[in-house]
A and B are shown apart, each in its own frame.
Chain A
């Protein structure tokens, strides 16, 4: 890095649309390390291509919008500004098709997945994975736009509605075999699995954003290794790997979250300094980039 000395004088940036409990925890972790960090609302960013680089030493990118999130990291990459997560990782994690392809390529077990490139093919995709199936939005999160489909009539109804949606992304058919089991999340920071939770809810959708309860789960070697392999498959960084554990104990990876929310995991593991681990990883990456 040619301007490493100058860059070392700059503050870190926490790019965030919302300052939630996680961002508060991260700001506190920066403060504990004596590292100046400013909040940057991703909606406020305007930059000239070929103009000055971002005025920050490194960036922790937690924009809520997947589109803006990718653009923040793309700008950082183009200007050699260290950023978590990278544009490569976000482009993979924020598209379920890309995630599935990357996990499969890495030999990571997932539920049987069939993709239709138009809503008209959605019924065929569901029939191929078999009933019951789950139809997901390719860019969905927080448990939104999920449908469990039990028969061809339900599949036809779901995809008839999707065909009418204005967003071309919603016309894509991403379908997975519905499998019963326990819903686990493992936090991976810099290639190392650090903690796991099990998420429980009365509903089959078990996102904490929809009220699921997260409790501590043992991070055994098999679970840790699979989470770490999944994280590596999507490009690495700070990641939330969601897995399903069936009654036999077999694990399948459902998705990998590139802008992971960790308040549930932090509550479940009160002795684990989650925010500090994330900030330390950014500081390490920054030191490595400057050397």
Chain B
């Protein structure tokens, strides 16, 4: 379990999580970006920017 940086709730993160993946906090629904692994560090995911897309 990792702590949500927004609400301090417990966030379940898969064992094989990779940096730059997005997980969602089950308590506050915040989208969180995995900014580091071993140990897992989460940060609020940035908002979609004007030029993002495919």
A-side residues, CB < 8 A to B, are 16-20, 24, 39, 41, 64-67, 94, 139-142, 144, 167, 169-170, 240, 257-261
Q: Is the CB of A19 within 8 A of B18?
A: yes
Query: B39 CB to closest chain A CB, in angstroms?
Result: 18
Q: Cα distance A161–B21 when bound, in Å?
A: 34
Q: Is the CB of B22 within 8 A of A18?
A: yes
Q: Cα distance A259–B20 when bound, in Å?
A: 17
The A/B interface has a contact count, at CB < 8 Å, of 51
Residue of B18, B20, B54 touching A141 (CB-CB under 8 A): B54
Q: Apart from A20-B21, A24-B18, A67-B51, what 17 extra A-B contacts exist at CB < 8 Å?
A: A16-B20, A17-B20, A18-B22, A19-B20, A19-B21, A39-B18, A39-B19, A94-B51, A141-B52, A141-B53, A141-B54, A142-B53, A167-B50, A169-B50, A170-B50, A257-B54, A258-B54
Q: Is the CB of B51 within 8 A of A18?
A: no
Q: Cα distance A61–B6 when bound, in Å?
A: 31
Which B residues lie within 8 Å of A142 (CB)?
48, 52-54
Q: Is the CB of A39 within 8 A of B54?
A: no
Which has the most chain B C-beta neighbours within 10 Å: A16, A18, A24, A144?
A: A18
Q: Cα distance A141–B52 when bound, in Å?
A: 7
Q: List 21 A-B contacts (CB under 8 A).
A: A16-B20, A17-B20, A18-B21, A18-B22, A19-B18, A19-B20, A39-B18, A39-B19, A64-B52, A64-B53, A66-B52, A67-B51, A94-B51, A139-B51, A139-B53, A142-B52, A142-B53, A169-B50, A258-B54, A260-B54, A261-B54
- CB-nearest residue of chain B relative to A93? B54
Of all A-B residue pairs in the complex, the 5 with the closest CB atoms, nearest first, are A141-B53, A66-B51, A19-B20, A64-B52, A257-B54
Q: Cα distance A218–B52 when bound, in Å?
A: 30
B-side residues, CB < 8 A to A, are 18-22, 48-54
Query: B24 CB to closest chain A CB, in angstroms?
Result: 13
**Chain A interface main SS type:** loop
Query: B45 CB to closest chain A CB, in angstroms?
Result: 9
Q: Cα distance A60–B49 when bound, in Å?
A: 21
- CB-nearest residue of chain B relative to A258? B54
- CB-nearest residue of chain B relative to A66? B51
- CB-nearest residue of chain A relative to B45? A18
Which A residues lie within 8 Å of B18 (CB)?
19, 24, 39
- CB-nearest residue of chain B relative to A143? B53
Which B residues lie within 8 Å of A259 (CB)?
53-54
Which B residues lie within 8 Å of A260 (CB)?
54
Which B residues lie within 8 Å of A16 (CB)?
20
- CB-nearest residue of chain A relative to B50? A167
Which B residues lie within 8 Å of A261 (CB)?
54
Which B residues lie within 8 Å of A64 (CB)?
52-53
Query: B40 CB to closest chain A CB, in angstroms?
Result: 14
Query: A130 CB to closest chain B CB, in angstroms?
Result: 27
